[in-house]
Structure 1
Amino acid sequence: MTGERKMPPAPEAAVRLPETTEVAAIASESGRTSRPMEPPDRRFDRLRADLYQLALRLICIATSTTTVALMVTAKDSTTVSIYGFEFPVQSKWSFSNVFEYLVGVSGAVAAYSLLQLLVTASMLARRSPVLSSRSQAWLIFAVDLSLAYALMSAGSAAAGISNLNRTGIRHTTLPNFCKPLKRFCNHVAISIAFTFFTCCLLTTSAIQYVIWLSKN
């Protein structure tokens, strides 16, 4: 019929992406924001290194604290015979600047090791990497190595003084003071041994950071 009106065409439906295309777009978007998964082997190696570092710090605290405890309790008194005369002799760690230096360095090592132990334990509890950057690794490496050198110098100087007390001075009648002052000399000797052991631990820790830096 000529009077019949034509109905307007129905609006076209909005074009939809295929479901597979939407999934791919979502995956692509999430891939841009998420971090890549760390391989299990690498994650296990990192955890093992962190636990090894935790054990090193714990042993460093024990050895450096033992060094300080033995040295500050190193004291004794007795009498010695020089040229046939009896003289009272008193020996104490604080009479020597070298022994005081050893106590100071060992105390600093104990405090530093405790700080590193707390930081490492906190990061492990939060399941976060202990080392977050190369600059942090270089800083800890430098501090470890500096304290190791300080312990080496303090232990070497203290060992020289202790050996002098034990052997006396040649060509003189100065006696071996460690015979009458056994308690003092034994405390000093064991304290020096723990000093060198702590030095080895700090050196081992520094080497571990060098290995980490070479791999990252």
Structure 2
Amino acid sequence: MSTDHKPPPLETTVQLNDHDTTPIKVAAEVETGTMNGRTVTSTKKFSLNYDMVFIILRFVSLAASLISVFVMISAQEKSSILIYGFNLPLYSKWSFSGSFQYLVGVSSVVGVHSLVQLVMTVSRTLRKTSVFSSRNHAWLILIVDQVFAYVTVSAGSAATGVTNLNRTGIQHAPLPNFCKPLHHFCDRVGVSIAFAFFNCVLLAVSALLDVIWLSN
């Protein structure tokens, strides 16, 4: 009698264990799947936001380069100035200064760089791939961004020195403030220099984003 009554409880226990473990397994799989789904979604969202910031930076950098170049090459003016009772004609043009030519050349190169990176970033974003093809590619862009940022600062500083000389003249010499009769020319040069320095800030921010990408 004792042997006849022992099997049912064992079978019942097995059935209960089967019923208990199955929902637990399913629940665990659903929860894990949900967590994985959230992780992938958040990663894609971060990557997409990063790409969009990179695109905006390159676009603004390209616009700043174009404005700096076109404003500078349009800087020319004719006027006259009175020195020791003599009315002397004045004609100023951006190409007369090597510093201004240097600024135009640097801004043009930075503009080309920004255009190339903008096209590449948009293309990779549309294909839903990483903005950089490899870590070596990211390191290369980081170095280029830093070099262009330093060169832009150099060009802007050189152009600023010439502009300040035109505004203040030379002490202990009969050279007056040329920006008074040539104020339109000096204003255009100042705007071009301002956008060059602004472009330097954009390149620095872009380099910072490169570092963030490499650290992830």
Which category of TM-score, normalised to the shorter sequence, fits these structures?
0.7 to 0.9
For residues 87-142 of structure 1, give each alpha carbon's deviation from its aligned partner in whole angstroms, at most 9, with x where no partner exists. Answer: 11110000011100100010011111111111011111111111231101000001
Aligned partner of residue 198 in structure 2, secondary structure: helix
**Aligned partner letter, 2:197:** F
Distance 2:61 2:213 in 1: 20
User: TM-score, with normalisation over the residues of structure 2?
Assistant: 0.81
- Give the Å deviation of 1:39: 2.2
**1:89 corresponds to:** 90
**Alignment identity in percent?**
49
Please, which runs of 5 or more residues in structure 2 have no aligned partner?
1-35
Give matches, 1:59-208, under 5 Å: 59-208=60-209
**2:4 corresponds to:** none
Higher fraction of helix: 2
- Give the Å deviation of 1:83: 1.8
Aligned partner of residue 80 in structure 1, secondary structure: strand
Distance 1:100 1:172 in 2: 26
**RMSD of the alignment, in Å?**
1.4
Which range is displaced more, 170-179 or 90-99? 170-179
User: TM-score, with normalisation over the residues of structure 1?
Assistant: 0.81
**1:42 corresponds to:** 43
- Give the Å deviation of 1:171: 2.0
- Give the Å deviation of 1:82: 1.6
Distance 2:107 2:206 in 1: 16
Please, which runs of 5 or more residues in structure 1 have no aligned partner?
1-35
Aligned partner of residue 55 in structure 1, secondary structure: helix
Aligned partner of residue 79 in structure 2, secondary structure: strand
Distance 1:136 1:43 in 2: 21
**2:25 corresponds to:** none
Aligned partner of residue 39 in structure 1, secondary structure: helix
**1:9 corresponds to:** none
Distance 1:158 1:176 in 2: 16
Distance 2:133 2:140 in 1: 12
**Aligned partner letter, 1:212:** W
